[in-house]
Amino acid sequence: MSDTGRKDWSDKLKEGVTPDSTKSTQTKVGETFTDAGDKFARGIQPDSSKSTGQEFTDKVGRSKDRETHGSSGGSVLDKAKNALGMGDKH
């Protein structure tokens, strides 16, 4: 089960195990948009307000993103604030 407006973990699992070669272009494009929306929602919603399952899958997703892209681990909101010069001034 997922939080409102979020992609369910079982959908993510099915998408991940289905080879791209068997997916239509429409399916691939749809997954790209829903993945982007889910990552955005993951970044702006605090973990404290998520269900246990959603919190866990988000932490795993952030860990994978950091490993793959070398991210600093900040939330999308923090990154947007920093880009606008409104972030933490430490």
Number of domains in the chain: 1
The 10s digit of each residue's pLDDT in 5-55 is 788 878 888 988 999 999 999 999 999 888 888 888 888 888 888 888 888
SS (H, E, C) 6-65: CCCHHHHHHHHHCCHHHCCHHHHHHHHHHHHHHHHHHHHCCHHHCCHHHHHHHHHHHHHH
The 10s digit of each residue's pLDDT in 60-72 is 888 877 777 665 5
Range of the domain at 24: 9-83
Classify residue 36: in a domain, yes or no. yes
Classify residue 77: in a domain, yes or no. yes
So what's the pLDDT on residue 12?
Answer: 84
Classify residue 78: in a domain, yes or no. yes
